[in-house]
Amino acid sequence: MATDLYVGTVGMSVWFSKDEGETWARPYTEAGLYLECRVWSMATSPEAPARIFAGTDFGLQRWDPDAARWHHLPSLLDGLGIWALEISPHDPLVMLAGTHPAGIFRSDDGGATWRDLNVSFIDNCMFVGKPRITQILFDPRRPSHVWASVEVDGIRRSTDGGITWHKCAGKGLLSEDIHGLGIEYENGKRKLFASLNKGIHHSWDDGDTWEHTVLDSPWQYTRVIVPRADHNGTMFLTNGDGPPGSTGRLQRSRDYGRTWEDAGLPGELNSTPWIVSTHASNPNLLFVGSNLGQLFRSRDGGETWTRLKREFGEMRAILWRPSVGAGFSDSFKKTLGLHEQKIHATQ
């Protein structure tokens, strides 16, 4: 199966690979996106896999595969760092964006227009100055529930599909420095995970109370937690000695996060592992990136890993998908309607 792999970098725009990371290309500035921009987040939807969105320091961008160029979508997000970007798995027209300084924004028309949801956050924090949204997570089974992690201001929860938000009680969290979130369903029961500067935590009550799991590792600093796309209980957790760090480990769980082991990334790591990318079309194909640009690939579900030759200065996002044309699924065509015209009108 042919794949398209995208890496978003801090200061070197978005890079593309069509051979699982063996060779790379980067569209130049004439393709619509400044060659040295900072890319904080990327997103796509199974309903419209040709539409790749990138959250950058030049606003929200959308890749047009027909024209082979990026299009800026002018919006309230301009001038903000778009650190988190997510498309609802239940409605491909619904998008949520989390920013730095911290804010949560919503689009109901596929990115054409946005509104500020006016979620309350603290004004300043010790570590990063202004708080920022590090991840937005839709519940894959329950459309009403969405979460957002905040560095540094705890976890926000929505129970109306991402329209209104409230801060989770967070009892048991060792810190409010929240880097990432994950969900797995074990025996039909939802288990919510949070990765912190002080370790991995899990909650059975949607984020109000938490339990901490101590890692068998020299460090407890964790960045992201990602269930493998086949959802068989295999999960991956990035772990290292800090941001950006000088070394670290990829941790793997085979039992829904109860226990963790070193997944065995090869060679000497140059920083904390930072990103994990998986896709339901082939759960055995995984990519992991370190904060300072090393890239690793597994073709056997995370049992063994290859360190790829290409290194990037600094990475913030990895996205892969099966290679597709510019078309949309039939269901997306039916729901898109006039919204696509609105998006084109902004360009």
Instruction: pLDDT band for 120, please (50, 70, 90 cuts).
Output: very high
User: At residue 330, does pLDDT exceed 70?
Assistant: no
Q: Which of 26, 114, 41, 32 is nearest to 347 (CA)?
A: 32
User: At residue 334, does pLDDT exceed 50?
Assistant: no
CB-CB contact of 162 with 143 (8 Å): no
Task: Judge if the upstream peptide bond of residue 101 is cis by omega within 30 degrees of 0.
Answer: yes
Q: Which of 65, 69, 10, 8 is nearest to 36 (CA)?
A: 10
Rounded Cα gap, residues 296 and 307, in angstroms: 4
User: At residue 328, does pLDDT exceed 70?
Assistant: no
**Amino acid letter at 216?**
D
User: At residue 341, does pLDDT exceed 70?
Assistant: no
Give the total residue count for the chain: 347
Sequence-ordered list of residues with C-beta below 8 angstroms from that of 188, at least 6 positions apart, any chain: none
Report the chain's mean pLDDT, rounded to a whole number: 92
Query: According to the model, what pLDDT value does residue 325 have?
Result: 57
* Alpha helices for the chain (secondary structure H): 330-336, 339-345
Instruction: pLDDT band for 34, please (50, 70, 90 cuts).
Output: very high
CB-CB contact of 168 with 157 (8 Å): yes
User: At residue 332, does pLDDT exceed 70?
Assistant: no
User: At residue 65, does pLDDT exceed 90?
Assistant: no
pLDDT single digits (tens) 267-310: 999 999 999 999 999 999 999 999 999 999 999 999 999 999 99
Q: How far is CA 147 from the centre of its chain?
A: 13
Give the range among 63-67, 166-170, 216-220, 303-307 with minimum mean pLDDT.
63-67
With b for 16 or more beta-carbon neighbours within 10 A and e for fewer, the 291-320 pattern comes to bbbbbbbbeebbeebebbeeebebbbbbbb
Q: What is the H or E stretch that residue 37 is in?
A: none
User: At residue 329, does pLDDT exceed 50?
Assistant: no
Q: 42 — phi, psi (to 5°)?
A: -145, 155
What percent of the chain is modeled with pLDDT above 70? 93
Between CA 41 and CA 142, with CA 284 as vertex, the angle to 5 degrees is: 60
User: At residue 180, does pLDDT exceed 90?
Assistant: yes
**Overall average pLDDT of the 169-191 stretch:** 96
SS3 of residue 90 by DSSP:
coil
Strand partners, 137: 147
Domains of the chain: 1-163+317-347 (2.130.10.10), 168-313 (2.130.10.10)
Q: 81 — phi, psi (to 5°)?
A: -80, 120
pLDDT single digits (tens) 211-270: 999 999 999 999 999 999 999 999 999 999 999 999 999 999 999 999 999 999 999 999
